[in-house]
Amino acid sequence: MIKIEQQYENIYLISEKTRYEAREIKSLFPDNKIFICDFALSDLNTAILNDAEVEKIDQCFVWQDMICVDHHAPHESMSKKISSVNLAYDLRINHPEIFADDFVVVINHADTDSLLSALMIAGIFEPDQKWLF
């Protein structure tokens, strides 16, 4: 069972584990738009590896109505040096319209990349190139 460890505004830190599936995250926030920052969804990764048609916004994957701001995806676009902060920056700069509705941001660990990408997606930190890796 997923446990919410901490919450700050609309950012939720959930218990850290190796594999999450989309349905597990959706069960916590069934009525919210969800941004996943800096961790992988195993069912999304399986779809990518099987060359399934997966929608993208910039370099972020959209999976079961969640936007995955994650540089761990097994996709050629993630094979270069990139961080989730860079993906968050691009979304905030290029697609401000996707942040118009209420949403939650979910992370499962609290390293620099997770925290900075979550803060940027949540709108607490403005997109600024000084945060990019």
Report residue 31 as tokens: 């009525």
**pLDDT value at position 3?**
86
Q: Which domain, by its residues, includes 86?
A: 4-131
- Closest of 10, 40, 31 to residue 119, by C-alpha: 10
**pLDDT value at position 17?**
84
The secondary structure of the chain, three-state, reads CCCEEEEECCEEEECCCCCCCHHHHHHHCCCCEEEEECCCCHHHHHHHHCCCCCCEECCEEEECCEEEECCCCCCHHHCCCCCHHHHHHHHHHHCHHHHCCCEEEEECCCCHHHHHHHHHHHCCCCCCHHHCC
**pLDDT value at position 46?**
77
**pLDDT value at position 32?**
93
**pLDDT value at position 119?**
96
**pLDDT value at position 100?**
83
C-alpha to C-alpha distance for 132 and 4, rounded to whole angstroms:
28
In total, how many domains does the chain have? 1
* Bridge partner list, 104: 34
**pLDDT value at position 106?**
96
Per residue of the chain (133 residues), what is the pLDDT tens digit? 788 999 999 999 999 887 888 999 999 999 999 999 998 888 887 777 777 788 888 888 888 889 999 876 655 655 456 688 999 999 999 999 999 888 999 999 999 989 999 999 999 999 988 878 7
pTM here?
A: 0.90
45 Cα distance to chain centroid: 13
First CA to last CA across the chain, in angstroms? Answer: 33
